[in-house]
Amino acid sequence: MTRRILVTGGAGFIGSHVVEALRARGDEPHVMDDLSKGQVSNLPVDVPLYVLDMAASPLERLFEIPFDAVVHCAAQTNVMRSLADPALDRRINVTGLVRVLHGALASGVRRFVFISSGGAVYGETPVPATETTQPRPENPYGCHKLEGEALVAAEPISSVSLRLSNVYGPRQRSDAEGGVASIFSDRLAAGLPLRIYGDGEQQRDFVHVADVASAILLALDDDSMTGVWNVGTGTPTSVNDLAALMIEASGEHTLIERLPARGEIRRSCLDIAKLRGTGRWAPERTLRQGVAELLRSAAHVL
C-alpha cells in the first residue's frame, strides 16, 4: 500500500536520500523545507514541495494533507553556529520540532521519526556509545537534539529517535555537520590540498547516507522501534585515514596542509548492536566503496 510521508528538511542532504528511497519502494513522499540549506535540485520535479519555515510559518494548511507518517530531518545542523547563536539553534531545533510534532498530532499522523545526532548527544566516546551510555552533549546543538528526543517521546504518538553518526555521501554540503568527506571530495575535485586540523588522529564513525536512509525506512515501518536507536557503523576512522583513503581512491597526488587543532571531540563512535540485532539492518557500504562513489559523483557534477 502506498503511504504518504512528510519529509521535513527533504531538500537537504539526508532528507533527499530518504525521499529517493521512499519513491523507489512506491511510497509518496512530500517535502517541507525552507530552502535555507536545502536545494530544489536535490529533489525529483514531481515531489510536492512546501517552502515553509517550520519555526514561524503557519503549518495548519500543510497538515490538512493526510500524511501517514513524518520523518523529521529539518534542522539547524551547524555546531559552530549553535555555539555562536544558541537562541537561533533552539528556535529551529526545539520550537520548530515542537510545531511540526503538534501539527502531526493534531492531524492524526500515525508514526513520527525524529532524526537526532549520536555525535552531538554523546559527546566524547572513549568506547563506542550504546543507547544506554550517559549523554554528554558539549554544545547547544547537542543539548537541543537531546531535548528534542524527550519531547518526541513524551507525546502520545508512535515515535522513534535515531541517533546518527557522521553521515557522508552525494549531495552533502561542505558546511554541514560532519561534512569532512564532502570537503575533501570538493578539494580533491578542485586540485586543492586537503586541510587537516590538529594531528588528524581525531576519529569519527562515518556511515554512508544510503545505509542511513534504509535505517530510516525501517524505523518508519517498525512500530516496535521506540525510544532511541544508534545508526552508524561501529567502526571509528581517523581523519588521517579518511584523507589517505580518499587520496588513494582519487588517484591524485594531493598535498596535506596541517592546521592548528580546533576544539573538537577526539573520538566519536556508535555501538550499533541494538539495530543490527533486529536482523533487518546492517551498513552495506564499506568506507572505501562509499568514498570512491562519492568522488565519482563529485567528478560527474563538475
Active-site positions read: 141
Q: How far is the CB of 119 from ligand NAD (least distance, A)?
A: 6
Q: Are 155 and 106 in contact (CB under 8 A)?
A: no
Least spacing, CB of residue 231 vs ligand NAD, in Å: 9
Which residues, numbered 50-69, are part of the site for ligand NAD (CB under 6 A)?
53-55
Stretch that binds ligand NAD, among 8-16, 81-89, 105-113, 150-158 (CB under 6 A): 8-16
State which residue, 252 or 265, has the beta carbon closest to ligand NAD. 265
Q: Does 117 bind ligand NAD (CB under 6 A)?
A: yes
d(CA 33, CA 51): 5
Find the binding residues for ligand NAD in span 167-186 (CB under 6 A): 167, 173, 176-178
Position among 6, 7, 15, 99 found at the interface with ligand NAD (CB under 6 A): 15
Binding of residue 142 to ligand NAD (CB under 6 A):
no
In the bound state with ligand NAD, the residue whose beta carbon lies nearer, of 196 and 270, is 270
How far, in Å, are 16, 98, 107, 113, 160 from residue 157 at the CA level?
Answer: 25, 13, 11, 10, 10
Min CB(37)–ligand NAD separation in Å: 4
Q: CB count, 10 Å around CB of 102? A: 13
- Distance in Å, CB of 255 to ligand NAD, minimum: 26
Taking CB under 6 A as the rule, does residue 121 contact ligand NAD? no
Q: Given the complex with ligand NAD, which of 125 and 166 has the nearer CB atom?
A: 166
Does 143 contact ligand NAD by CB under 6 A? no
Position 220 contacts ligand NAD (CB under 6 A): no
Does 88 bind ligand NAD (CB under 6 A)? Our answer is no
Q: Does 75 bind ligand NAD (CB under 6 A)?
A: yes
Residues contacting ligand NAD: total by CB under 6 A: 31
Q: Which residues bind ligand NAD (CB under 6 A)?
A: 9, 11-15, 33-38, 53-55, 73-77, 92, 96, 115, 117, 164, 166-167, 173, 176-178
